[in-house]
Amino acid sequence: MRQLDIGSYVMGIDNFEEIKARLAKAIADNDDAEIVNLVGELKSALVYDVRGSLVEVLFHPQLDLPAKAALERDDLARKILDHPESTILLEEAEYALITGSLNAVSGLGRNDVRFIRQVLDAPQVEVEVTSQRRRDTCAEG
């Protein structure tokens, strides 16, 4: 299985964590001038929607998907979009579908580099399946 990070991330600001901390302090101190200053710095930030980008790659028009393939991909898209955590475990076939689609799409740019690395470098993980045996007991009476 592959463990894929599907959480969105901020790009365009190198010191985002520092700005967040300064903003929290400015809010706590009720420092309106600093709040306005920091909000201005944050305007250049972009949030990269990893989940949405994965779905877009799966259904990209360049893939020229027939109807049945689109329906099959929709199951994976829903799994990604509905997953409550920021990382998801994918079967190798699901991961291959994503990487195959990503490698077939052209027109990706510099803003997509981190996303591409995140997908292509997703670690392979071993998953241990445990079964829980249930004992039914019957009382004789």
What's the average model confidence in pLDDT over 47-65?
Answer: 95
**Strand-strand pairing, 46-48 and 9-11:** antiparallel
- For the stretch 7-43, pLDDT in tens is 998 887 777 888 889 999 999 999 999 989 888 888 7
State the pLDDT confidence band at 78, using cuts at 50, 70 and 90: very high
* DSSP β-bridge partners for residue 46: 11
**What tokens were used for 65?**
């998907």
Q: What is the mean pLDDT of the chain?
A: 89
The 10s digit of each residue's pLDDT in 107-133 is 888 889 999 999 999 999 998 877 765
11 DSSP β-pair partners: 46
Instruction: Say if residue 134's pLDDT is above 70.
Output: no
